[in-house]
Amino acid sequence: MAASSRAQVLDLYRAMLRESKHFSAYNYRTYAVRRIRDAFRENKNVEDPVEIQTLVNKAKRDLEIIRRQVLIGQLYSTDKLVIEKQEEPRT
């Protein structure tokens, strides 16, 4: 993999992880992070430049989907789950 495409892939990976951590719903957030990591690990040994570019384009589309879904999720507030860290009320 060329250095520029490697940097592009790493930037895309980081952007997807960063954006997926903005999901307000715990289940969506953990699923997105797990799915992103699994997908990148699954394709880390791909050598064909055409296939790499195809995967990068798919990841860019997926990043836009994540951004849209985060915005939609922020429109609807939900209570935190028990498993999530609860803030203690200050007295």
CA-closest candidate to residue 64, choices 22, 29, 19: 19
The residue-averaged pLDDT of 2-17 equals 89
Rounded Cα distance, 16 and 59, in Å: 8
Q: What is the DSSP string of 42-55?
A: HTTT---HHHHHHH
This prediction has a pTM of 0.80
Rounded Cα distance, 55 and 16, in Å: 14
- Is residue 31 within 8 A of residue 78, CB to CB? The reply is no
pLDDT tens-digit map of 54-84:
999 999 999 999 999 999 988 887 788 888 7
